């Protein structure tokens, strides 16, 4: 699915609507009134939070959806309010303008031949929703496993997907009680899967990556990291790679083959995006 490199562009986007889709989670629908190229699933933008010096640095946010038409580019972002910057984004009013810079980074690879298992934890649902939407458009088969902390963290947008969705909650308040990373191994044991995609807390992705590799199934993961620049200049988003070298998440990723990543000892944590 990765095409030729897309040059990131600084744009002014106008908020068309803001929807609270779960506790402390909002979908921002923005319009850029120019013919800029849309992102690929897995790519992200540096989004200006505004509001003063405490929000000086932009926040890296993966695209939830994108649509280009004659009136310009419509972008959707899933934003969880976890700090000053994201709280301000979640309080924007219709008609307000913000700066966005992108698309940035490396997205997901070619769509799978055969059936895919898509494993999302918390707000890690966003890039995987974009990917699943693309698979819907191309009549690809997949099963999506969504891990949430509790019922009030269930993201309503799951219902827009055509593929089957199974929900796992830490407290059993919705779907099946348990961790989605553990469920992924059970699903893979059913057989028939040719590719795995994962995004969520790093311990969750580590479990999914090990389960996929143990069964010889390729796995792509979308890593989360603090990014000040988004273009590889500050090196603030570097993570350890399996080959003994560092991975620059914003330029070499955020999507990686799971075998490229040096995973810490896989733990068992809840499915919230920050673990």
Report, as an integer, the average pLDDT of 163-176: 94
pLDDT on residue 101? 95
58-63: Cβ within 8 A, 24+ apart: 58/99, 58/101, 58/230, 59/85, 59/86, 59/89, 60/104, 60/227, 60/230, 60/250, 61/126, 62/126, 62/127, 62/130, 62/222, 62/254, 63/39, 63/103, 63/126, 63/127, 63/130
In this prediction, residue 234 carries a pLDDT of 86
Confidence tier at 53 by pLDDT (50, 70, 90): low
Mean pLDDT in residue range 120-126: 93
Residue with the larger pLDDT of the pair 217 and 2: 217
How far, CA to CA in Å, does 52 sit from each of 24, 57, 149? 22, 10, 32
Average pLDDT of 86-107?
94
Mean pLDDT computed over 6-33: 94
Does the pLDDT at position 186 exceed 80? yes
- Residue 269 has what pLDDT? 47
pLDDT at 2 over 60: no
- CA distances to 62, 191, 231, 245 from 224, rounded to whole Å, are 10, 29, 15, 18
Q: Is the pLDDT of residue 54 over 60?
A: no
* pLDDT, tens only, 134-168: 999 999 999 999 999 999 999 877 778 898 899 99
What is the spatial distance between Cα 242 and Cα 41, in angstroms, rounded to a whole number? 24
Helix intervals (H) in 11-141: 84-89, 125-137
State the pTM of this model: 0.91
Average model confidence (pLDDT) across the chain: 90
Give the CATH number of domain 115-260: 3.40.50.80
Res 4 pLDDT > 80: no
Where do runs of H (alpha helix) occur along the chain?
84-89, 125-137, 180-189, 202-214, 249-252
pLDDT at 230: 84
Task: With a cut of 60, say whether residue 275 has pLDDT above it.
Answer: no
Per-domain residue ranges of the chain: 9-104, 115-260
Determine the 3-state secondary structure of 183 from DSSP. helix
Given this model, what pLDDT does residue 233 score? 86
pLDDT digits (tens, 9 = 90+) for 218-263: 999 999 888 888 888 888 889 999 988 899 999 999 999 999 999 9
pLDDT band at 273 (very low <50, low <70, confident <90, very high): very low
CATH node for 9-104: 2.40.30.10
Same fold, 9-104 and 115-260: no
Structure tokens given for 17: 């609507």
């Amino acid at each position: 699915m990765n095409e030729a490199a897309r040059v990131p562009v600084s744009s002014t986007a106008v908020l068309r609507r803001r929807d609270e889709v779960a506790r402390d989670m909002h979908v921002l629908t923005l319009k850029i009134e120019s013919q800029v190229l849309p992102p690929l699933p897995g790519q992200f933008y540096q989004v200006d939070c505004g509001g003063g010096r405490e929000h000086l640095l932009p926040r890296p946010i993966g695209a939830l959806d994108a649509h280009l038409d004659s009136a310009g580019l419509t972008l959707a972002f899933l934003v969880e309010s976890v700090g000053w910057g994201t709280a301000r984004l979640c309080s924007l009013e219709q008609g307000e303008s913000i700066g966005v810079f992108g698309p940035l980074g490396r997205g997901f690879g070619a769509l799978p031949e055969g059936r895919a298992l898509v494993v999302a934890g918390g707000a890690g649902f966003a890039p995987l929703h974009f990917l699943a939407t693309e698979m819907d458009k191309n009549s690809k088969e997949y099963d999506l496993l969504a891990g949430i902390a509790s019922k009030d963290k269930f993201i309503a947008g799951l219902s827009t997907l055509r593929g089957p969705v199974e929900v796992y909650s830490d407290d059993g308040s919705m779907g099946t009680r348990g961790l989605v990373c553990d469920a992924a191994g059970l699903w893979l044991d059913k057989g028939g899967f040719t590719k795995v995609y994962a995004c969520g807390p790093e311990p969750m992705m580590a479990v999914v990556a090990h389960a996929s590799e143990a069964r010889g199934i390729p796995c792509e993961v979308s890593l989360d990291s603090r990014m000040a620049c988004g273009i590889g200049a500050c090196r603030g988003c570097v993570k350890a790679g399996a080959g003994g070298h560092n991975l620059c998440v914003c330029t070499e990723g955020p999507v990686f083959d799971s075998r490229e990543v040096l995973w810490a000892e896989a733990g068992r944590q809840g499915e919230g995006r920050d673990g």
